[in-house]
Structure 1
Amino acid sequence: MSLPDPSARFASTVPFVPVVLGGELATYTLARAFHAELGVRTTVVTRGVPSAVRGSAIIDNVRCPGMDEDEELLACLRRVADERPDHRVLLLGTVDVWVDRIAGLRDRLDERFVVPYPSGALIDRLSDKEGFAALCAELGVAHPVTRAVPADAPEEAVAQLLEGLRPPFVVKAGDSVAFGALLYQGKQKVAYCADLEELLALRRTMTAAGYAGGLVVQERIPGGDEQMRVLTTYSDREGSVRWGRLGHVLLEDHDPAMIGNPLAVVHGTSGTAVAEAARLMEHVGWTGYANFDIKVDPRDGTEYFFELNPRLGRSHAYLTAAGHPVVTPLVREYVEGRDPFDDVRTGPETDDWLYSIVPVPLLRRYVTDPSTRERLTRIRRSGRVLRPLRYAVDGGRERVLAQLKNDVLYTKNFATHYRRPVTS
């Protein structure tokens, strides 16, 4: 089914089909961007039919139950390409595990496929939290004091490895892809351990669940969700950072499995973050999109870089809310072979928009800064609020249910995991 969309601002000179692995909410917002910017439908490859994409009129959902196996996934992708013989296939992932898979399969894909990611080795280096911390230290980019606990370090050596860090500890898995596959009671994407004993107990639990990687332990920067920033940069195929936009996070996810993911973002400003990110990316020759988590220290304004995601972030629709093209630069450069920003107009630097996964009334309960609350009121009155699952040309019962399910889920999660905002 073809849907006319008068808001599509750009058109590709080369026939192509975007193919996205996985059916998360970010998959839908990526498909929405392809439709709004370029007027094309997206093919989404999933194991089942997730609610985030179910019933969408802008998505062709291809089921591939065995997509965890390389041969099954490759066969599925080739079938998709065979059905569109005159099209190039732009292959994307919206979470690290799929980006990692795509990078690993790059050499087994034929010339019909376009992969807009750096080499697997570079992705592994900078997705690894120890590797990213080392790069920040090498270039003098602000990063929380970090210590690594290798997988083979005996328990009696951990205290010495953490020398110089004061509890409570912020604990993350060094290998985020391997950690994502773990199942154990009380699993948290980011854990806070009150002391060394809690950290050692967590390490034993993770090891028993099959985790064979190291841990990254960091100093905790004070402040709540409103001190967080999200930064997206685009590097061309020559490794030059061409563009970057900062978002000011108002609320993060507090579900233990998803903790730290931005849920509500408004326009942010910074005198240094984009320049510092450019130094990091150009030093290693990064290409394509990168996404950074940053926290501003309320004590002195220092912007600490926490980690890099080798892709558009889960909350990349904050760029759409601000009027920035999200997918067109990829198509220009990787599909058409043009300059990524040829005939591409980015949105104005403005503060009058809001991107929110959660219902806005719920968001207001957790925004503590009076000036930000006033700002939210002005934005709501202006109507410049983007809810990721609401797209005017993609209605229907399943889409309404997807938005309702999303809102109910987050309302319950916050009632369970984060009843009152933390500001210190």
Structure 2
Amino acid sequence: MKTQVDFQPVLLGTDFNCYGMARSFYHEYGIKSIAFGVMHMAPTRYTKLVDVRVVEGFNSNPVFMETLTAFAKTMDPNKKYLLLSCGDGYTELISEHLTELKQWFVCPYVDNELFKRLGSKETFYAAAEEYGLPYPKTKLISREMVERGEKIELPFDFPVALKPSDSIAWLDVDFEGRKKAFILDSRQQFDELLPKIYQAGYTGKMICQDFIPGDDSNMRVVNAYVDSDHHVRMISLGHPLLEDPSPAAVGNYMVILPEKNDQIYQTIQKFLEEIKYVGFADFDLKYDRRDDTYKVFEINLRQGRSSFYCTLNGYNLAKYVVEDVIYHQPFTETEYADGDQLWLGVPKKIFYQYAKESEYKDRAVKLLKAGKYGTTAFDKDDTLKQRMLMHYAFYLMPGNYKKYFVQR
């Protein structure tokens, strides 16, 4: 743990992502983070690692800027204040107000122009095409196409994946059967779902993609930190073995096995450096056995919800951003992560029961038996009340899997 503390982390959000980043700062620098959000959430409800400040309407303007402007007036002039987003909506707000926020905060984020290019799946795939980043076959669907009632021809067979291009706008859309993303097995399901989506008020485009076959163990996740001069300082690959099956959180990783793959590392690093990226980035990929390729689904312009797997494996996320933008330590070389700690977001019994049998599961079981595992949720230095709350949350998880889990 470093003893020099002349900065203050300010986190936006109060969820698991926030708690994971707060743990990273606490264990690297012995520092308590400040977090702003719209509500108290279980991962940070009773923690002593974060000073949570709840502000109604903070996730939109004008409250967002009013709150941070007022906070800036109270800041210690002898400290640097590091502003980090823990959610897509907050990342968008930072990028919109980047110039103004930089008056008071250190903000390692891309400008609004690059955010708009990468933040929407539609424009991200155009960038992926330009820079040679493999992605699934894709069909864009607009509200106008659906409202005209035209038959939408797809250049691939069912099953297909269907998801919103604008994941931030999707957060405000609600209808029976709503999910974060859909896997559709038939034309009938496809034709019935699209009108419901637009009748519910969503106005953006939908992304329909060729479904890459295989279960959760074919997924990969990459987290990286890119410094102010566009050098990738750290890149870490995780191999998800299980995802959250509940509709609102489908696709969230719940078990991650550390892995190293030079091909993936070089492909992602090349893309980030050529596009002049800055800050944390989180990629979701899936292995396509049909052409032996890892294909990218999306980029999140922040660290991932499960990114504490990096810190758990010895690659503390806080260290890279602080060394870059707080202490201005020069870039020397890229660290390619290669750890041996299994990350769990569920109780072990759920992993044993629901993760598909494979050589990767066998490796994960060996790590569990050797005691080489950890989770974002339980910090030994945190309050008993916080740890008990998270034990209760873990206790409730089997019900979700029993209700929603489908093996593919």
Range of TM-score over shorter length: over 0.9
Other structure's SS at 1:114 match? coil
- Picking from 341, 344, 352, the partner of 1:356 is 344
Change (3 A) 1:290 1:348: closer
- The equivalent of 1:37 in structure 2 is 28
Q: CA deviation at 1:12?
A: 4.9
Change (3 A) 1:287 1:347: closer
C-alpha RMSD of the superposition: 2.2
Contact 1:229 1:268 in 2 (8 A): no
The answer to whether 1:159 aligns with 2:152 is yes
- Picking from 379, 382, 401, the partner of 2:370 is 382
Other structure's SS at 1:421 match? coil
Other structure's SS at 2:44 match? coil
- The equivalent of 2:269 in structure 1 is 278
How is 1:131-142 mapped onto 2 (pairs within 5 angstroms)? 131-142=123-134
Other structure's SS at 2:338 match? coil
Which stretch shows the higher mean deviation, 365-374 or 246-255? Answer: 365-374
Q: CA deviation at 1:304?
A: 1.1
The answer to whether 1:218 aligns with 2:193 is no
- Picking from 70, 73, 81, the partner of 2:72 is 81
- The equivalent of 1:52 in structure 2 is 43
- The equivalent of 2:186 in structure 1 is 195
Tell me the distance in 1 between the aligned counterparts of 2:142 and 2:402.
36
Q: How high is the TM-score relative to the length of structure 1?
A: 0.90
Letter in 2 for 1:105: H
Tell me the distance in 2 between the aligned counterparts of 1:237 and 1:19.
19
Q: How high is the TM-score relative to the length of structure 2?
A: 0.93
Tell me the distance in 2 between the aligned counterparts of 1:44 and 1:158.
47
The answer to whether 1:289 aligns with 2:280 is yes
- The equivalent of 1:406 in structure 2 is 393
- The equivalent of 1:184 in structure 2 is 175
- Picking from 129, 137, 146, the partner of 2:138 is 146
Contact 2:215 2:356 in 1 (8 A): no
Letter in 1 for 2:407: P
Q: CA deviation at 1:199?
A: 2.2
Contact 1:87 1:112 in 2 (8 A): no
- The equivalent of 1:242 in structure 2 is 233
- The equivalent of 1:5 in structure 2 is none
Other structure's SS at 2:317 match? coil
Tell me the distance in 2 between the aligned counterparts of 1:301 and 1:94.
33
Tell me the distance in 1 between the aligned counterparts of 2:189 and 2:338.
45
Contact 1:322 1:347 in 2 (8 A): no
Other structure's SS at 1:113 match? coil
Letter in 2 for 1:414: Y
Residue segments in structure 2 that go unaligned for 5+ positions in a row = none
Letter in 2 for 1:140: G
Q: CA deviation at 1:195?
A: 3.2
Q: Deviations over 1:322-366 (max 9, x none)?
A: 111201111122223333679xx969723x311011001111112
**Percent identical across equivalent pairs?**
26
Q: CA deviation at 1:82?
A: 3.4
The answer to whether 1:108 aligns with 2:103 is no
Letter in 1 for 2:116: D
Change (3 A) 1:260 1:110: closer
Letter in 2 for 1:118: V
Tell me the distance in 1 between the aligned counterparts of 2:230 and 2:386.
42
How is 1:215-364 mapped onto 2 (pairs within 5 angstroms)? 215-339=206-330, 349-350=338-339, 352-364=340-352
- The equivalent of 1:4 in structure 2 is none
Letter in 1 for 2:380: A
Letter in 1 for 2:158: P
Q: CA deviation at 1:243?
A: 2.6
Change (3 A) 1:341 1:312: farther
The answer to whether 1:366 aligns with 2:354 is yes
- Picking from 208, 219, 224, the partner of 2:199 is 208
Tell me the distance in 2 between the aligned counterparts of 1:381 and 1:246.
22
- The equivalent of 2:84 in structure 1 is 92
Tell me the distance in 2 between the aligned counterparts of 1:364 and 1:43.
37
Tell me the distance in 1 between the aligned counterparts of 2:123 and 2:336.
33
Other structure's SS at 1:280 match? helix
Which stretch shows the higher mean deviation, 314-323 or 229-238? Answer: 229-238
Aligned length: 406
Tell me the distance in 2 between the aligned counterparts of 1:23 and 1:341.
34
